[in-house]
Amino acid sequence: MTLAKYAEIKDFIVSQIQLGAWKEHAQVPSENQLSDMFTCSRMTSRRALTELVDAGVLTRAQGMGTFVAEFKSQSSLLTIRNIADEIKQRGHGYHAQCIELAEINAQASIAIALGVPVGRGVYHSLLVHFEQNVPLQLEERFVNPVFIPDYLQQDFTQQTPHEYLSKVAPLTEARHTVEAIIPSACEQQYLAIAATEPCLLVSRRTWSSQGAVSFARLVHPGSKFRLGGHLTFT
Protein backbone atom coordinates (compact mmCIF):
# COMPACT_ATOMS: atom_id res chain seq x y z
CA MET A 1 0.00 0.00 0.00
CA THR A 2 1.32 3.44 -0.95
CA LEU A 3 1.93 5.73 2.00
CA ALA A 4 0.07 9.02 2.21
CA LYS A 5 2.39 11.93 1.49
CA TYR A 6 2.29 13.30 5.03
CA ALA A 7 3.20 9.85 6.39
CA GLU A 8 6.03 9.59 3.88
CA ILE A 9 7.39 12.93 5.05
CA LYS A 10 7.14 11.86 8.69
CA ASP A 11 9.00 8.61 7.97
CA PHE A 12 11.73 10.55 6.16
CA ILE A 13 12.24 12.97 9.04
CA VAL A 14 12.27 10.23 11.69
CA SER A 15 14.74 8.15 9.64
CA GLN A 16 17.11 11.12 9.29
CA ILE A 17 17.07 11.55 13.07
CA GLN A 18 17.52 7.85 13.80
CA LEU A 19 20.42 7.62 11.34
CA GLY A 20 22.11 10.56 13.06
CA ALA A 21 22.00 12.78 9.98
CA TRP A 22 19.96 15.34 11.93
CA LYS A 23 21.25 15.84 15.45
CA GLU A 24 19.49 17.21 18.50
CA HIS A 25 18.48 20.90 17.91
CA ALA A 26 19.20 20.64 14.16
CA GLN A 27 16.82 22.66 11.99
CA VAL A 28 14.64 20.57 9.68
CA PRO A 29 13.43 21.66 6.23
CA SER A 30 10.60 24.17 6.17
CA GLU A 31 7.05 23.44 5.01
CA ASN A 32 7.85 24.94 1.62
CA GLN A 33 11.08 22.95 1.26
CA LEU A 34 9.33 19.71 2.18
CA SER A 35 6.53 20.51 -0.26
CA ASP A 36 9.11 20.84 -3.04
CA MET A 37 11.01 17.71 -1.97
CA PHE A 38 7.90 15.51 -1.90
CA THR A 39 5.83 17.26 -4.58
CA CYS A 40 2.91 17.94 -2.30
CA SER A 41 0.92 20.83 -0.90
CA ARG A 42 2.14 23.00 1.93
CA MET A 43 -0.85 21.81 3.96
CA THR A 44 0.42 18.23 3.67
CA SER A 45 3.94 19.10 4.82
CA ARG A 46 2.50 21.21 7.63
CA ARG A 47 0.46 18.21 8.83
CA ALA A 48 3.59 16.04 8.91
CA LEU A 49 5.54 18.60 10.92
CA THR A 50 2.65 19.30 13.28
CA GLU A 51 2.14 15.62 14.09
CA LEU A 52 5.85 15.19 14.83
CA VAL A 53 5.80 18.29 17.04
CA ASP A 54 2.80 16.88 18.91
CA ALA A 55 4.68 13.59 19.34
CA GLY A 56 7.69 15.38 20.83
CA VAL A 57 10.02 14.45 17.96
CA LEU A 58 10.29 18.05 16.74
CA THR A 59 9.92 21.43 18.38
CA ARG A 60 8.92 24.79 16.90
CA ALA A 61 10.40 28.22 17.61
CA GLN A 62 8.16 31.01 16.39
CA GLY A 63 9.79 33.01 13.62
CA MET A 64 12.80 30.68 13.51
CA GLY A 65 11.59 27.32 12.21
CA THR A 66 11.25 23.70 13.29
CA PHE A 67 14.03 21.78 15.02
CA VAL A 68 14.85 18.29 16.24
CA ALA A 69 13.68 18.11 19.85
CA GLU A 70 15.90 17.19 22.76
CA PHE A 71 16.26 13.44 23.07
CA LYS A 72 14.23 13.38 26.27
CA SER A 73 10.83 11.72 26.44
CA GLN A 74 7.88 13.91 27.34
CA SER A 75 4.45 13.12 28.69
CA SER A 76 1.59 15.49 29.22
CA LEU A 77 0.32 16.65 32.58
CA LEU A 78 -3.05 17.32 30.97
CA THR A 79 -3.81 13.94 29.42
CA ILE A 80 -3.17 10.30 30.31
CA ARG A 81 -1.70 8.34 27.45
CA ASN A 82 -0.39 4.84 26.95
CA ILE A 83 3.40 4.96 27.30
CA ALA A 84 3.83 2.33 24.58
CA ASP A 85 1.91 4.51 22.14
CA GLU A 86 3.98 7.58 23.08
CA ILE A 87 7.25 5.75 22.41
CA LYS A 88 6.06 4.20 19.14
CA GLN A 89 4.75 7.56 17.95
CA ARG A 90 8.29 8.90 18.29
CA GLY A 91 9.39 6.14 15.91
CA HIS A 92 11.27 4.30 18.64
CA GLY A 93 11.25 0.68 19.72
CA TYR A 94 9.23 -0.26 22.81
CA HIS A 95 9.17 -3.30 25.06
CA ALA A 96 8.32 -4.04 28.69
CA GLN A 97 9.69 -6.36 31.36
CA CYS A 98 7.26 -7.67 33.96
CA ILE A 99 9.06 -8.06 37.30
CA GLU A 100 6.12 -8.97 39.52
CA LEU A 101 2.44 -9.77 39.10
CA ALA A 102 0.80 -11.04 42.28
CA GLU A 103 -1.81 -10.53 44.99
CA ILE A 104 -0.66 -8.77 48.16
CA ASN A 105 -2.29 -7.47 51.35
CA ALA A 106 -2.99 -3.75 51.17
CA GLN A 107 -1.04 -1.55 53.58
CA ALA A 108 -2.77 1.55 54.92
CA SER A 109 -1.68 3.98 52.17
CA ILE A 110 -2.72 1.58 49.39
CA ALA A 111 -5.99 0.70 51.12
CA ILE A 112 -6.88 4.39 51.38
CA ALA A 113 -5.99 5.02 47.73
CA LEU A 114 -8.21 2.16 46.54
CA GLY A 115 -10.96 2.58 49.10
CA VAL A 116 -10.60 -0.94 50.57
CA PRO A 117 -10.02 -2.17 54.14
CA VAL A 118 -6.42 -2.42 55.37
CA GLY A 119 -5.11 -5.95 54.84
CA ARG A 120 -7.54 -6.68 51.99
CA GLY A 121 -6.02 -8.51 49.04
CA VAL A 122 -5.19 -6.28 46.08
CA TYR A 123 -3.35 -6.96 42.85
CA HIS A 124 0.20 -5.66 42.42
CA SER A 125 2.26 -5.30 39.27
CA LEU A 126 5.79 -4.03 38.77
CA LEU A 127 7.06 -3.35 35.24
CA VAL A 128 9.90 -1.58 33.50
CA HIS A 129 9.05 0.18 30.22
CA PHE A 130 11.91 0.50 27.72
CA GLU A 131 12.52 2.96 24.89
CA GLN A 132 15.16 1.82 22.42
CA ASN A 133 16.21 -0.83 25.00
CA VAL A 134 16.86 1.88 27.62
CA PRO A 135 14.71 1.84 30.80
CA LEU A 136 12.37 4.84 30.71
CA GLN A 137 9.78 4.17 33.39
CA LEU A 138 9.33 1.93 36.41
CA GLU A 139 5.62 1.34 36.91
CA GLU A 140 4.32 0.01 40.21
CA ARG A 141 0.55 -0.42 40.20
CA PHE A 142 -2.01 -1.55 42.74
CA VAL A 143 -5.40 -2.64 41.39
CA ASN A 144 -8.76 -3.25 43.05
CA PRO A 145 -9.64 -6.90 42.27
CA VAL A 146 -13.35 -6.28 42.85
CA PHE A 147 -13.49 -4.30 39.61
CA ILE A 148 -10.65 -6.00 37.67
CA PRO A 149 -10.82 -9.71 38.61
CA ASP A 150 -8.71 -10.95 35.67
CA TYR A 151 -5.77 -8.57 36.14
CA LEU A 152 -3.30 -11.29 37.19
CA GLN A 153 -4.06 -13.36 34.08
CA GLN A 154 -2.80 -10.69 31.67
CA ASP A 155 0.51 -10.63 29.78
CA PHE A 156 1.77 -7.10 30.28
CA THR A 157 4.66 -7.58 27.89
CA GLN A 158 2.03 -7.60 25.12
CA GLN A 159 -0.16 -4.74 26.37
CA THR A 160 0.42 -2.20 29.12
CA PRO A 161 -1.67 -2.16 32.29
CA HIS A 162 -3.04 1.22 31.22
CA GLU A 163 -4.12 -0.20 27.87
CA TYR A 164 -5.83 -3.18 29.52
CA LEU A 165 -7.55 -1.13 32.22
CA SER A 166 -8.82 1.35 29.63
CA LYS A 167 -10.58 -1.52 27.87
CA VAL A 168 -12.16 -3.28 30.82
CA ALA A 169 -12.83 -0.26 33.09
CA PRO A 170 -12.85 2.95 31.03
CA LEU A 171 -11.36 5.89 32.89
CA THR A 172 -13.78 8.49 34.25
CA GLU A 173 -11.51 10.37 36.67
CA ALA A 174 -7.82 10.66 37.51
CA ARG A 175 -5.74 12.57 40.03
CA HIS A 176 -1.99 12.78 40.00
CA THR A 177 0.88 14.44 41.78
CA VAL A 178 4.45 14.96 40.58
CA GLU A 179 7.51 15.19 42.79
CA ALA A 180 11.28 14.93 42.54
CA ILE A 181 12.79 11.99 44.42
CA ILE A 182 16.08 10.25 45.02
CA PRO A 183 15.54 6.68 43.78
CA SER A 184 15.78 3.71 46.11
CA ALA A 185 18.39 1.03 45.53
CA CYS A 186 15.83 -1.17 43.75
CA GLU A 187 14.65 1.71 41.55
CA GLN A 188 18.26 2.46 40.62
CA GLN A 189 18.77 -1.16 39.60
CA TYR A 190 15.58 -1.46 37.54
CA LEU A 191 16.17 1.88 35.77
CA ALA A 192 19.94 1.31 35.34
CA ILE A 193 20.82 4.69 36.84
CA ALA A 194 23.33 5.99 39.36
CA ALA A 195 22.39 6.62 42.97
CA THR A 196 22.93 10.34 42.45
CA GLU A 197 20.47 10.70 39.56
CA PRO A 198 17.21 12.39 40.60
CA CYS A 199 13.94 10.98 39.34
CA LEU A 200 10.42 12.23 38.69
CA LEU A 201 7.69 10.35 40.51
CA VAL A 202 4.15 10.59 39.17
CA SER A 203 1.62 9.19 41.65
CA ARG A 204 -1.73 8.56 39.96
CA ARG A 205 -5.12 7.36 41.17
CA THR A 206 -7.74 6.41 38.59
CA TRP A 207 -11.46 5.77 38.79
CA SER A 208 -14.03 4.15 36.54
CA SER A 209 -17.77 4.52 36.88
CA GLN A 210 -17.65 1.67 39.43
CA GLY A 211 -15.14 3.24 41.81
CA ALA A 212 -11.39 3.51 42.48
CA VAL A 213 -9.66 1.12 40.08
CA SER A 214 -5.92 1.62 40.53
CA PHE A 215 -3.13 3.51 42.20
CA ALA A 216 0.18 3.76 40.32
CA ARG A 217 3.69 5.01 41.09
CA LEU A 218 5.52 5.92 37.88
CA VAL A 219 9.24 6.60 38.35
CA HIS A 220 11.27 8.19 35.54
CA PRO A 221 14.99 9.04 35.38
CA GLY A 222 15.30 12.82 35.39
CA SER A 223 17.80 12.81 32.53
CA LYS A 224 15.45 10.91 30.21
CA PHE A 225 12.03 12.34 30.95
CA ARG A 226 10.03 15.52 31.31
CA LEU A 227 6.42 16.52 31.77
CA GLY A 228 4.68 19.26 29.86
CA GLY A 229 1.39 20.55 28.59
CA HIS A 230 -0.24 23.13 26.38
CA LEU A 231 -3.12 25.35 27.43
CA THR A 232 -5.13 27.62 25.14
CA PHE A 233 -6.87 30.62 26.73
CA THR A 234 -9.78 32.47 25.16
Distance (Å, whole) CA 82 – CA 204: 14
Does residue 85 sit in the same domain as residue 176?
Answer: yes
Q: Are residues 93 and 64 in the same domain?
A: no
**Is 193's pLDDT higher than 90?**
yes
98 and 140 part of one domain: yes
Q: 191-199: long-range contacts at Cβ-Cβ below 8 A with a sequence spacing of 24 or more?
A: 191/128, 191/135, 191/138, 191/219, 191/221, 192/134, 192/135, 193/135, 193/221, 193/223, 197/221, 197/222, 197/223, 198/222
**89: in domain:** yes
Burial class (CB in 10 A: 0-12, 13-18, 19+), 26: exposed
pLDDT value at position 229? 53
pLDDT value, residue 79: 58
CATH assignment at residue 54:
1.10.10.10
Give the CATH number, domain containing residue 114.
3.40.1410.10
Q: How confident is the model at residue 231 (pLDDT cuts 50, 70, 90)?
A: very low
Q: pLDDT tens, 84-124?
A: 988 888 888 999 999 999 999 999 889 988 988 889 999 99
In a domain, 233, yes or no: no
Give the residue from 19, 45, 68 where a domain finishes. Answer: 68
Residue 26, domain member (yes or no)? yes
Is residue 110 within 8 Å of residue 215, measured between CB atoms? Answer: yes
For residues 170 and 214, membership in a common domain is answered with yes
In the chain, the number of structural domains is: 2
Check whether residue 60 and residue 162 sit in a common domain: no
Q: Which residues pair with 96 in a beta bridge?
A: 129
Q: Which of 68, 86, 112 is the last residue of a domain?
A: 68
Contact 176, 203 (CB under 8 A): yes
Is 47 part of any domain?
A: yes
Same domain, 181 and 196: yes
Q: Are residues 127 and 203 in the same domain?
A: yes
Q: Mark whether 104 and 218 lie in a shared domain.
A: yes
pLDDT band, very low/low/confident/very high, at 60 (cuts 50, 70, 90): confident
pLDDT tens per residue, range 144-182: 999 999 999 999 999 999 999 999 998 888 888 888 999
Contacts of 120 (CB under 8 A, 6+ apart): 105, 106, 111
Whether 106 maps to a domain, the answer reads yes
Same domain, 52 and 125: no
Identify the domain containing residue 206 by its residue range. 73-228
Clarify whether residues 84 and 200 are in a common domain. yes
pLDDT of residue 144: 95
38 and 55 fall within a common domain: yes
